[in-house]
Each structure stands twice: as structure tokens, then as C-alpha cells.
Amino acid sequence: MRYTRQNKIIEFIAAEEIDTQEKLAEMLKNSGFDVTQATVSRDIKELQLIKTLAASGKYKYTLPEASGRQATDRFVKIFRDTIQSADSSGNMIVVKTLIGCANAACEAIDSLDFPHILGTLAGDSTVFLVADDPKNVPAVMERFEAMLRS
């Protein structure tokens, strides 16, 4: 449930400018999550959200974007804890996750700047990746396996 809720938070902050914990809690409640202010505060801390200046001049919650968009330990942990399987065909890779966790797994993959990945697309429990060349897929799959073992 925590990963699903945190995944929803990531979706919310990507879609609109959210500037307070109260607004985030309200949006979660409207989406069926039973949350308290303390829960939202903990999620913000675990996701390492920061407030940045938006185009509107207001501050909003965003994911940290350290140099090179390094993945946080939190996203790697979410990736490790939620991935159920990964398979490939040609230059395509399909990763199955726990329900509601595909966006967080996708963000981890994007943040890690995987070589040879042209793009990612997340559903609810499936991540679709396209590699630049079918010959590079085994290296990507090996890196996934290494992340899952670590």
C-alpha cells in the first residue's frame, strides 16, 4: 500500500503544481487513500521530495534532480522490492511490477540513465522499455538482475 501511495504522489507532482502537504493529502484522500498529515510527511521524506520554484512563481514539490538525474536509494529500493519479472523480445523489454508500482520502477530506470534505453512507458503494473538495438538487451537485462540481487 505504501508503494502504491508513493507512486500516486509521484504521479500527482508530475501532473500539477502541489505546494502543500495538505493539498497532497486531500488529493490522496480523493483517490481513495486513507492518509494523515504524518503519513504524507513521511512519504515526502522517503521520496526525498524537494520544493522548487515553478513557472507560476509558486513553490511546488518535485523529485530531486541531482547531477545526472541520479536515482535515489529510495527508487532503487522500490525497484528491487516491486519488480516481479522482466522479459524481452527483440529490442523491447517488459518489466512486471506489483500493482500500482510501475511508475516508481520506471522513474528508477529513467533516473539511472541506463545506457541503450531509448525510452520507458509505465502502466499500472507494467513497464515497457525500448532498447536502441536488440544486441544490447542482454546487457540491460543483466543490469536489472544485478539491481535485484543487490
Q: Which residue has the higher pLDDT, 40 or 73?
A: 40
Helix (H) or strand (E) holding 130: strand 126-131
- Are 79 and 127 in the same domain? yes
Mean pLDDT of the chain: 86
Burial 45-82 (b: 16+ CB within 10 A, else e): eebebeeeeeeeeeebbbbeeeeeeebbebbebbbeeb
Range of the domain at 95: 70-149
- pLDDT computed for residue 72 by the predictor: 57
| pLDDT exceeds cutoff 80 at 64 | no
- pLDDT computed for residue 67 by the predictor: 36
CATH number at residue 91: 3.30.1360.40
CATH number at residue 10: 1.10.10.10
Q: Structurally, how many domains does the chain consist of?
A: 2
- pLDDT computed for residue 66 by the predictor: 47
